[in-house]
Amino acid sequence: MRNIKHIFNNCSTKLKGDFTQAECEILSKAFVVHHLQDDEILIREGERDDTLSIVVSGNLYVTRQSGCDEQVTLHHLNAGDVAGAMGFIDGSYHTATLRSSGPSEVITLHRGNLEDMINDHPRLVYKLMRMIIRSVHQTVLRMDQQYVDMSNYIMKEHGRY
């Protein structure tokens, strides 16, 4: 098992492209590493917390209640994917459950730890927030495409179905 220093020393997360080695060193003191076993829950639908999570290795299922105690899988998160962004930013309730699919490694950051960096490392905080926005934007783009695909399928439009 790798520790948080190893993860950030290699910048082996989504952080790799945007952060310098010195910034990764600072972030390594703010993040916490979690080793999840198969089927372990990281985030539970309907709960709230102030934690941002980044998948380092393994996979997480994003599921949601569909009624009658059934879970529907919405998406799979892989290494580099970000989870819990809205709860991290504004404390909103989680709209889905994140459950590990096999052994997985996740790093988490509490909002307070980020806020502690604002005065001493404003550029670093800006870069982290930019990374979060990019991740949320990618999720919205993916959902938009799924909506278009489903609409085309239902309406039998564009000759693809």
Q: What is the CATH number of the domain that holds 16?
A: 2.60.120.10
pLDDT at 1: 47
Residue 33 lies in a domain: yes
Residue 147 lies in a domain: no
Residue 140 lies in a domain: no
Q: Quote the CA–CA distance of 56 and 12 in Å, as a whole number.
A: 7
- 107 with 53: CB under 8 angstroms? yes
Q: Print the domain residue range for 32.
A: 4-132
Helix extents (H) in 33-110? 85-90
Q: How many independent structural domains does the chain possess?
A: 1
pTM here is 0.80
User: Mean pLDDT, to the nearest integer, of 98-119?
Assistant: 94
Residue 70 lies in a domain: yes
The 10s digit of each residue's pLDDT in 13-68 is 555 567 888 888 888 889 999 999 999 999 999 999 899 999 989 999 999 988 77
Q: What is the mean pLDDT of the chain?
A: 84
Residue type, 70: E
pLDDT at 71: 83
pLDDT at 97: 93
